[in-house]
Amino acid sequence: MHIGVITLFPQMLDALRCGGITARALERGLLQLSTWNPRDFTHNKHRRVDDRPYGGGPGMVMQVQPLRTAIQMAISVLGQDTHVIYLSPQGRRFDQNGVQTLLNYPRLLMVAGRYEGIDERLIEQDIDEEWSIGDYVLSGGELAAMVIIDALIRWLPQALGHQESATTDSFYNGLLDHPHYTRPEELAGQKVPAILLSGNHAQIARWRHKQALGKTWRRCPQLLEQLELTAEQQQLLTEFITEQGE
């Protein structure tokens, strides 16, 4: 997968290279990440990329030409079949389904806006799709792009040492995550649930599934309604509720 980002702050993307799964995936070439800065494609003396909005109003708007030229340069490198997305609160809400959708594009170009946004003529002509990571306004599209890139990387084959953890991640099977514990077994009177020390992997998997069901039931009951629980899951949930004395 080759992802390009059009951004006035390419150094922000370095955060993905600092460490962890994203850094390893990039080092191992599971993913290529390139950036293009619209400021490098300006044709004016002061390398301006923004101007005042027609119709008045506060702030500045990113002009068409530097962004269009940067996008075209990126597509000439990435390939003509590149899918071009713009990050904005007006976009399609990114979720686990969005991960699977965007993974289908081997070449993805993400345009990160700044100021009040980009000239609408870019959205009409150069952008294929708008995506949002949530109903809030950020100062730029870069962090939204990085959130999406991070979520995508976890699903690239071999990106995770033990591939199964991507598929057992919360929200993959529609449930919230089960609790996690590590050493020491006890501290400040807080103990690790005994089942996890039993070495009985079938019982441990059952306990984790029960905890995931119970946590989802407690925190996002609407998520549960969307799932048709199997008889076994119903049984586990009933057990959880009974044990909780709810």
Site string for ligand 4GO, 43-82 (x = CB under 6 A): ----------------------------------------
135 is in an annotated binding site: yes
Q: Annotated catalytic, 221?
A: no
Q: Which two tokens stand for residue 65?
A: 């030409």
- The catalytic position among 24, 39, 154, 218 is 154
**Residue in this structure with the two tokens 């400040």, named with its chain if needed:** 188
Residues 141-160 that bind ligand 4GO (CB under 6 A): 141, 144
Q: Annotated catalytic, 116?
A: yes
113 is in an annotated binding site: yes
Contact yes or no for 119/61 (Cβ under 8 A): yes
For ligand 4GO, give the closer residue by CB, 65 or 168. Answer: 65
137 is in an annotated binding site: yes
Q: Annotated catalytic, 89?
A: yes
Q: Does 87 bind ligand 4GO (CB under 6 A)?
A: yes
184 prior amide bond cis, ω within 30 = yes
Cα angle for residues 27, 72, 68 (degrees, 5° grid): 115
* Whole-number Å distance between alpha carbons of 115 and 135: 18
77: DSSP letter? H
For ligand 4GO, give the closer residue by CB, 30 or 115. Answer: 115
* Whole-number Å distance between alpha carbons of 147 and 94: 10
| Binding-site sequence positions for S-adenosyl-L-methionine | 113, 133-138
As annotated, the active-site residues are 89, 116, 154, 169
